[in-house]
A and B are shown apart, each in its own frame.
Chain A
């Protein structure tokens, strides 16, 4: 029996997927690249013109762009390590034998933050962190702490965004790492535990190598998510106060949807895409070589 598949069958199976990818991924991207070479403002269409790399030059020399990139990087640097640390702890607890009901309930509870719409998280945060009426300050009051101006203070507002990002995405990290822990062969883990009572040694020398692919996946996904983070800070602070929470996606939205400068917004987005791809390559080359 021949295993050769004819071209028509291949096309029939692959064609729809390739077409869908082209339609929803490649064509809009190509359009964005094309528009990034134009002055293209929706409210001044009559003045649209080809301006070459001017939009890119504007982005790369813009204090607003680098400021937003810096804040985005700071968010990533502060939130993701905490998410990985807490996520790993949760995953290790859930990986231990026993406590079946507790673990089932915990797994269910972990899904809830991820299932909450980003924009809703921002709106809830705005209410919960209100200085006078918010539940956060009410709880601070119970332990004798004076009300804190969270959303109206630049540093506190940034911390607020970090807090909610951790709240929403730690469960995701935990579930991915839990899946990674299931790839550790039980006999190897069991043998290691016979050799040592130290959980740290088992984690460092046995479990961690198997977790590298999961960690790389977490890093890539969280990097992309952080660069795209928009809904939550937008509904919570709208990038303020000042520009304390104006992350790169919030800035791009402002340029594209408030100032209607689609060409400039597209240039921002293309540069952001390039940064994401480069970071992804760096993660893969750095971490995967350990397991090759």
Chain B
């Protein structure tokens, strides 16, 4: 009995201590509302694009504003204007508080100190959500979209991988049980069988803008073992592998619609959606367009797979945007901006973001069997993000100049105005001049891409 009494006292004391600890923890537990209290009324400005991932975020923003009292002002601009708008705003000390960064802009923004390393906020216990879990982001997306020179600046927000979307009914009619596994199969088997009666086997969006560089030119370099630059940062476009890829693109054009050099994403996605094209390789973010009965006639015929492999492997196109806090914002705007970035890219919101039409970079959301079942693109996306190349397009500050060169000469190659060799020589010469002027060959800058 004495023992029991003693035990009861100890148990009571322990319970009291635990209870007090729990009460203390409750009082000090991190919550978005509490973290945002000092910043209620702060306005945060950022640019958005007119794409499904942004529409998904726009659906979510009212909840964030209600919880925090922080006002999120978004301005939707075309992709082509987004870089210029932001560069001019940052140079002029404007009012953008969160930078929207395409992966090819990250070197530019980071080297100009226009964005703040994320560690400034993740190291602040008042702001950092204990559930942030950076490890949950696909490493490729975190490093490629948000990282530069070993530092993480942005969190992956609007995330893409190149995927192969195809009309399974059209393929079945032509006697195929599934999509091509390799680019060569697409050329040899699917191309001739599907190109008939005004319909085409394949469409490779190649309009003279970033689409030409990223979706068309680069897409044919990497799977064939090619690349823009070699280890010494000299042009690798005349290498045997790069030339094989570029010539393959020329040959494949016979299975594409005439005028493919004028096709952008909209035309390509519509071509598949209307049943005129059998196979396209497009960004994962277009899944919601292709699956919606309002914008697509495909219905159950829509199927998704990872991009075809080349001799060097799959190497799918990689693209996407991160959100990073702008250094020109004042302290309150920076804190409020970080809270928004953390919230909209959080593990907790990932499912909602995906269901609203976005593509999250959180690994955990795709482990959910219901999500894998409902969104056909998930297995291909996960597979692609294991095999992607971070420097699919070099991410250094000089890319905006180099992409213009690639766009011009890449289109000329496709039109047959120059051979792939001459076009590659011209791009290489101009690309090296830009890199030389930037100081890469004089040792002024590290050979980072």
Interface centre among A131, A132, A152 (most CB of B within 10 A): A152
A35 sits at the interface (CB 8 A) = no
Chain A: which residue is nearest B405 at the CB level? Answer: A259
B356 sits at the interface (CB 8 A) = no
Given A44-B397, A153-B259, A242 and B417 touching (CB < 8 A)?
yes
What's the interface size class on B, roughly? Answer: 20 to 34
Given A42-B91, A241-B411, A149 and B400 touching (CB < 8 A)?
no
Given A238-B207, A239-B208, A241-B415, A259 and B400 touching (CB < 8 A)?
yes
Whether B91 contacts A130 by the Cβ 8 Å rule is no
B391 sits at the interface (CB 8 A) = no
Whether B209 contacts A238 by the Cβ 8 Å rule is yes
Main secondary structure on B side of the interface with A: helix
Bound Cα distance from A153 to B416, whole angstroms: 11
B251 sits at the interface (CB 8 A) = no
Bound Cα distance from A261 to B405, whole angstroms: 14
Whether B262 contacts A152 by the Cβ 8 Å rule is yes
Bound Cα distance from A259 to B91, whole angstroms: 14
B401 sits at the interface (CB 8 A) = yes
Size of the chain A interface, CB-CB below 8 angstroms = 28
A257 sits at the interface (CB 8 A) = yes
B88 sits at the interface (CB 8 A) = yes
Whether B262 contacts A241 by the Cβ 8 Å rule is yes
B260 sits at the interface (CB 8 A) = yes
B263-276 near A? 1/0 per residue, CB < 8 Å: 10001001100001
- B410 to A: closest C-beta gap in Å: 9
- B206 to A: closest C-beta gap in Å: 9
Given A44-B397, A241-B411, A151 and B87 touching (CB < 8 A)?
no
Interface centre among A130, A241, A243, A259 (most CB of B within 10 A): A241
Whether A131 contacts B258 by the Cβ 8 Å rule is yes
Chain A: which residue is nearest B112 at the CB level? Answer: A43
Whether A259 contacts B261 by the Cβ 8 Å rule is no
Whether B417 contacts A151 by the Cβ 8 Å rule is no
B388 sits at the interface (CB 8 A) = no
Whether B261 contacts A240 by the Cβ 8 Å rule is yes
Which A residues, 229 to 271, have Cβ-Cβ distances below 8 Å to chain B? 237-243, 254, 257-261
A113 sits at the interface (CB 8 A) = no
Bound Cα distance from A42 to B85, whole angstroms: 12
- B212 to A: closest C-beta gap in Å: 8
Bound Cα distance from A42 to B209, whole angstroms: 20
Chain A residue contacts of B257, Cβ below 8 A: 131-132
- B218 to A: closest C-beta gap in Å: 18
Chain A residue contacts of B84, Cβ below 8 A: 257-258, 260
Contacting residue for A152 out of B112, B209, B259, CB 8 A: B259
Whether B112 contacts A151 by the Cβ 8 Å rule is no
B108 sits at the interface (CB 8 A) = yes
Chain B: which residue is nearest A154 at the CB level? Answer: B415
Whether B397 contacts A238 by the Cβ 8 Å rule is no
Bound Cα distance from A243 to B208, whole angstroms: 9
Chain A: which residue is nearest B417 at the CB level? Answer: A242
Whether A240 contacts B276 by the Cβ 8 Å rule is no
Chain A residue contacts of B432, Cβ below 8 A: none
Bound Cα distance from A181 to B101, whole angstroms: 57
Given A240-B208, A241-B411, A260-B400, A151 and B88 touching (CB < 8 A)?
no
Which B residues, 266 to 325, have Cβ-Cβ distances below 8 Å to chain A? 267, 270-271, 276
- A235 to B: closest C-beta gap in Å: 10
Chain A: which residue is nearest B78 at the CB level? Answer: A235
B382-408 near A? 1/0 per residue, CB < 8 Å: 000000000000000100110010011
Whether A243 contacts B408 by the Cβ 8 Å rule is yes
Given A240-B208, A260-B400, A42 and B258 touching (CB < 8 A)?
no
Whether A131 contacts B259 by the Cβ 8 Å rule is yes
Chain A residue contacts of B352, Cβ below 8 A: none
B412 sits at the interface (CB 8 A) = yes
Chain B residue contacts of A242, Cβ below 8 A: 208, 261, 408, 411-412, 415, 417
Bound Cα distance from A149 to B267, whole angstroms: 14
Which A residues, 189 to 248, have Cβ-Cβ distances below 8 Å to chain B? 237-243
Can you offer 7 A-B residue contacts whose CB atoms are under 8 A? A42-B88, A45-B112, A152-B263, A240-B411, A241-B411, A257-B84, A259-B401
Closest 10 CB pairs of A and B: A152-B259, A240-B208, A152-B262, A149-B259, A151-B262, A241-B261, A242-B412, A259-B401, A149-B258, A257-B84
